[in-house]
Amino acid sequence: MSFAYAEIKLDNLERNVEAIKDILQDGVEILAVVKANAYGHGSIEVSKKLSVLNINNLAVATYEEAMEIKSAGVKSNILILGSITNEEIISSIDKNILFTIYDISQLYFIDSLNLDSISFHLKIDTGMNRLGIDREQIIESISIINKNPNLSLKGIYTHFPESNLVDSKFTESQIDEFDKIIMSFKNAIPNIDFFHISNSTGIINFPKSHLNMARPGLALYGLVTEENSEIIPVMELKTSIVKIRNIKKGDSVSYGRTFIAKEEMIIGVIPIGYADGLPRALSNKGKVTCKDKNCDILGRVCMDLTIINLSEIDNPRVGDEVIIFGTEKINANQVADLADTIPYEIVCGISKRVKRIYK
């Protein structure tokens, strides 16, 4: 059993949903992104809470993720955003799971199937150069769909590479281009349900990208920038002190002896390491919180343990709570900055041996 645990505050998730709704224009549906185990928060529990909040459209990355949620009894519509095999396409159709067609060859494949009512979303590349059919293949795609009454195009979408930049001209051009693409499809194929392009930062920074569906991920979990005070963290990662030591000037700490004490110090050992998701990049530069005070990480982060400076903590004791992130004092964005990464990687990296406790 790991001594580290993550408190998942579902009330904060609800607050974030309401904050997102307040930003979105009237009538815009939320497609809640719960891929990667709901960004480390627990896809089943998060999906069930979202269902209670009448958020009934969920997005995942893989067929396996979709099946995990569906098998848990969640009744929401599920869209697979990522890679999918032909066999998984057939299974998705059978299990009423929406999937993304992102390559023209896949469109030809589903066109060849002798199945009724094949529902899917079509992804179009507008500059990410990742998944999505090429813009030059739009006319061909429309032709294939129009000729087969069994193909039911439920939505079309694209993806922003830099909507985090408020003044991004590239994002503005993507929105304009996608508007034209939407018109091409609307003129040729009636009754397409959804058009979506906005991710979390797109929702906040580019209101004209809301269309009639938006795909919040980071914002759901309270991981957008600090300026958005209405959106708050859902996860609080915690552990507790398991050992306290007094060390002398010249003593070293952890592997490689990369930290040498310049004076007498009180240090504490906490049972969390890189196997739990605490980045090794925080060695000698990360911070945690104990008794509402920041404590430096000393030496290298180990696989299962980390050593912190308790010298400024009043009467530290074994069992005292230590917060890794998730409060005003220190959040996942700040941890990501110190580790030279992004908050997605921090929360998605919290391993399965860290127990999730739902509140």
Query: Closest Cα to residue 300, out of 340, 252, 341, 245?
Result: 252
**In the 8-state DSSP scheme, what is residue 126?**
S
- How many angstroms from the chain centroid is the CA of residue 160? 15
Residue 328: exposed, middle, or buried by beta-carbon count in 10 A (0-12, 13-18, 19+)?
A: exposed
Strands 265-270, 243-247: pairing is antiparallel
Integer CA distances (angstroms), 188 to 99, 102, 128, 138, 181, in order? 21, 19, 25, 11, 11
In the set 75, 243, 255, 293, the catalytic residue is: 255
What are 5's two structure tokens? Answer: 């645990």
Query: Closest Cα to residue 68, out of 100, 46, 90, 83?
Result: 46
Q: Is 102 among the catalytic positions?
A: no
What are 288's two structure tokens? Answer: 């945690």
Residue 218's SS3 state is: helix
Q: Is 255 among the catalytic positions?
A: yes
In the set 5, 9, 35, 48, the catalytic residue is: 35
Round to whole Å and give the CA distance between 37 and 217: 12
Edge-to-edge strand list for the sheet holding 306-309: 243-247, 265-270, 306-309, 293-298, 287-290, 321-325, 235-240, 5-8, 355-358
Q: How many CA atoms lie within 13 A of 90 on its CB side?
A: 8
Round to whole Å and give the CA distance between 229 and 9: 17
Contact 114, 90 (CB under 8 A): no
Residues marked as catalytic:
35, 255
